[in-house]
């Protein structure tokens, strides 16, 4: 298949590079030339609008920041829908509201264009290494067509249901990730305030049921107070807003998720939007006066 790719940020750029490395030709669009230039240098072809990308390809991936951007890129005046031929497949790997995904999929279907929602987990490292977890919503035959491309981008590729199901599962992912961040941060804080070495505490926990990838990687970040962005606070803040909106739409009680949403609000208010979301540790430290 001829592949289009739109989105060249922290996640999108390494994903596009992995597709190129696998031998696929990409046609790309970006609002900023400096963002797509590294991909063009590696052999991708550039176009001036999303519609032009769709007109030249069979499947187009989008990896952008929020629902508004996704809607504009896909349904806008120069969006993919304007250039896509019947049978074209749009694969949105952004994290957006499930309701928006279903609305976009319906609009595309009226033109004979297919859609998969395929948000990811794994951060910049997973994008770079091609080891992302990809949760896919949409029709099974369309998923089967795109699966070989997903397998270049991720090590775990799971079809989870119809349109919007991928986004619902991503909401679930962000709840678990956020609450695990909270648990690790609280454990470090409690150990420290009891005079117990939090490094030794983490080492002990890694050998039992509390052990996790988050305790391993982000627990170390919290111990080092090293929050260079892998997945930014502002993106986790946005994702938790999606979670809480969906909870309201479905009358689902999510008290733990509400706590994480408030922690992300606190970090945003403190000017920490560009830090890694494991900086949630800072929100707790500020409650004790240990951090400004």
Q: What is the CATH number of the domain that holds 212?
A: 1.10.1040.10
Based on the fold, state whether residues 22 and 110 are members of the same structural domain: yes
Supply the pLDDT for residue 282.
Answer: 95
Catalytic residue (choose from 47, 145, 170, 292): 170
Enclosing domain of residue 92? 3-162
Based on the fold, state whether residues 141 and 186 are members of the same structural domain: no
Per run of 10 residues, the mean pLDDT along the chain (length 292 residues) is: 91 94 94 85 93 97 92 96 97 96 97 97 91 98 98 97 98 96 97 97 96 94 90 93 96 98 96 94 91 64
As beta bridge partners, residue 89 has 59, 114
Catalytic residue flag (residue 200):
no
- Domain termination residue (choose one: 116, 137, 162): 162
Supply the pLDDT for residue 292.
Answer: 56
Based on the fold, state whether residues 157 and 172 are members of the same structural domain: no
Based on the fold, state whether residues 32 and 155 are members of the same structural domain: yes
Based on the fold, state whether residues 53 and 187 are members of the same structural domain: no
Based on the fold, state whether residues 17 and 148 are members of the same structural domain: yes
Supply the pLDDT for residue 289.
Answer: 87
Based on the fold, state whether residues 152 and 189 are members of the same structural domain: no
Residue position matching structure tokens 């629902």:
67
Based on the fold, state whether residues 182 and 248 are members of the same structural domain: yes
Q: How many domains does the chain have?
A: 2
Based on the fold, state whether residues 152 and 8 are members of the same structural domain: yes
Based on the fold, state whether residues 131 and 9 are members of the same structural domain: yes
Which pairs with CB-CB distance under 8 Å and at least 24 residues apart come from 102-111?
102/163, 102/164, 104/70, 104/71, 104/74, 104/75, 105/138, 105/163, 105/164, 106/163, 107/75, 107/81, 108/74, 108/81, 108/84, 111/81, 111/84, 111/86
Based on the fold, state whether residues 116 and 17 are members of the same structural domain: yes
Based on the fold, state whether residues 131 and 179 are members of the same structural domain: no
CATH value at residue 9: 3.40.50.720
- Domain termination residue (choose one: 140, 162, 184): 162
């Amino acid at each position: 298949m001829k592949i289009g790719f739109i989105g060249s940020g922290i996640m999108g750029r390494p994903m596009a590079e992995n597709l190129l490395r696998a031998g696929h030709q990409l046609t790309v669009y970006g609002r900023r030339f400096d963002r797509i230039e590294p991909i063009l240098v590696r052999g991708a072809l550039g176009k001036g609008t999303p519609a032009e990308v769709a007109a030249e390809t069979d499947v187009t991936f989008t990896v952008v920041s929020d629902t508004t951007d996704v809607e504009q890129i896909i349904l806008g005046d120069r969006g993919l829908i304007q250039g896509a031929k019947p049978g074209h497949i749009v694969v949105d790997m952004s994290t957006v509201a499930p309701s928006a995904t279903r609305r976009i999929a319906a609009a595309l279907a009226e033109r004979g264009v297919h859609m998969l929602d395929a948000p990811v987990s794994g951060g910049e490292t997973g994008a770079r290494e091609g080891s992302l977890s990809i949760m896919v919503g949409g029709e099974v035959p369309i998923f089967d067509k795109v699966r070989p491309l997903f397998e270049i981008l991720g090590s775990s590729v799971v079809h989870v249901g119809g349109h919007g199901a991928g986004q619902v599962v991503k909401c679930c992912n962000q709840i678990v990730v956020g609450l695990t961040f909270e648990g690790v941060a609280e454990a470090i804080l409690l150990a420290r305030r009891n005079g117990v070495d939090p490094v030794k505490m983490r080492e002990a926990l890694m050998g039992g049921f509390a052990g996790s990838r988050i305790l391993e990687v982000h627990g170390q970040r919290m111990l080092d107070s090293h929050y260079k962005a892998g997945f930014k606070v502002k993106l986790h803040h946005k994702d938790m807003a999606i979670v809480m909106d969906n909870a309201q739409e479905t009358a689902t009680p999510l008290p733990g998720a509400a706590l994480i949403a408030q922690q992300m609000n606190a970090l945003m208010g403190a000017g920490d939007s560009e830090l890694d979301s494991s900086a949630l540790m800072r929100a707790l430290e500020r409650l004790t006066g240990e951090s400004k």
